Amino acid sequence: MDILRFTTVGSVDDGKSTLIGRILYDCKSIFEDQLAAVQKTSSKRGFEGIDLSLLTDGLAAEREQGITIDVAYRYFNTPKRKFIIADTPGHEQYTRNMVTGASTANLTIILIDARKGILDQSRRHALISSLLGIQHFIVAINKMDLVDYSQSIYDQIVTDFKQLTQKLGLDQSHITYIPISALNGDNVVNQSEIMTWYKGPTVIDVLETVDVQSDLENKKFRLPVQYVITADNNDFRGFAGQVSSGSIKAGDAVISLPSAKVSKVAYISEFNGKKTEARPHESITLVLEDQIDTSRGDMIVKRGEEPIVAKNLIANICWMSESKFDSSKKYMLKHCSNMVRAIPSKINYRLDVNTYEKLESSDLKLNDIASVEFKLQKPVLADLYKENKDTGSFILIDELSNATVAAGMITDLN
């Protein structure tokens, strides 16, 4: 059974946490003690029924303010698929939290309040999701019960959002528009009995059927080496790591970089024993026919599918530190299992996440997103982020504090 990772984004009070609570509740994925606790808290707050948002707003500050601050992860499954949900904040001051939660997502649910239509936050969430390389979207027009389930209001929001996504260059065939009421459960897990004019799938229908595995399998094979395993007086030598994209099978010709040594796959080992093929996100140990020079930080790829060896890169970064970006400072750049020193050489522009305008900037502050050029102390084996999210991304670490200060998505290499 495969796993779908998805995130929910939207403006404050659009109903993100309520939607997730509704999904968990209607899929019967809530423990009895959790349900009892939510019922008790709901009663204290004066609700006649259950406040489903309490299932994900776990921090006391979130419950008090009625907003999502931190990223809340929830896990559930249906007979068709396993799911990991990231409920991310909607407010602009928590952009870094949204980037963190959405960075591993295969799909984004963008909530829009049917009463308000598309707001600046909606545009911001669509932009950030596209920058993060998320290809599949559900645009859930929520609170349809508060606009008398009006089809004309739904149609207008769909038209407006299509114009927005066309500007971002998103694939329209990967976007599904659904009118919902998270509070009442219309078109979330169960088909609405009121909105008979809507003939499309429910939210859970899309989540269960969207194809994300083929997106990764059709990409070039990448195995960043995490460990080199030896045993039996060096008679056994395997290279352990997680397949970030593509697939590999016994007999395939591979090349280890940067040594450029070539070999073939003898077999693939995992926790349960040997196997003949590995797919994306599987943790494996690759055993080759030849004893070649490979160590932690290297990368094993198929011959003819080599990544770029680069000492300079341009990336979209999200600045995550309270301290301002210092262009004269050296940072540690962690890319896959490699760590190299990086010097920012130029800020190309800062992106206004609400208007999509590119602005000149000499520094960056918390939650800013910008295009920045870096010079690296030694080369890295990388891909563009749009081609491979794992080998096309990195984090920046402050050398003095050892704090993560930025997340980066590579847009150019040389």
Q: Which pLDDT score is estimated for 102?
A: 81
So what's the pLDDT on residue 62?
A: 43
User: DSSP of 26-56, one letter per residue?
Assistant: HTT---HHHHHHHHHHHHHTT-SS--GGGGT
Provide the mean pLDDT of the chain.
87
Domains of the chain, first to last: 3-211 (3.40.50.300), 217-302 (2.40.30.10), 308-413 (2.40.30.10)
Q: What is the pLDDT of residues 80-104, one digit of tens each?
A: 999 998 877 766 666 777 888 788 8
Q: Is 211 exposed, middle or buried (0-12, 13-18, 19+ CB in 10 A)?
A: exposed
Banded model confidence at residue 234, pLDDT cuts 50, 70, 90: low
* Higher local confidence (pLDDT), 58 or 94: 94
Contact 111, 125 (CB under 8 A): no
With 70 as the cut, is the pLDDT of residue 233 above it? no
Q: Which of 75-79, 207-211, 217-221 has the lowest mean pLDDT?
A: 217-221
Residues 297-336 have pLDDT tens digits of 899 999 999 999 999 999 999 999 988 888 888 899 999 8
Asked if residue 165 has pLDDT above 60, the reply is: yes
What integer pLDDT is reported at residue 90 of this predicted model? Answer: 60
Q: What is the pLDDT of residues 257-273, one digit of tens each?
A: 988 999 999 999 887 78
List Cα–Cα distances, 397 to 128, 152, 341, in angstroms: 22, 49, 9
Angle between helices 120-131 and 151-168 (to 10 degrees): 40
Q: What is the pLDDT, as a whole number, of residue 227?
A: 92
Specify whether the CB–CB gap between 281 and 196 falls below 8 A: no
Q: pTM higher than 0.85, yes or no?
A: no
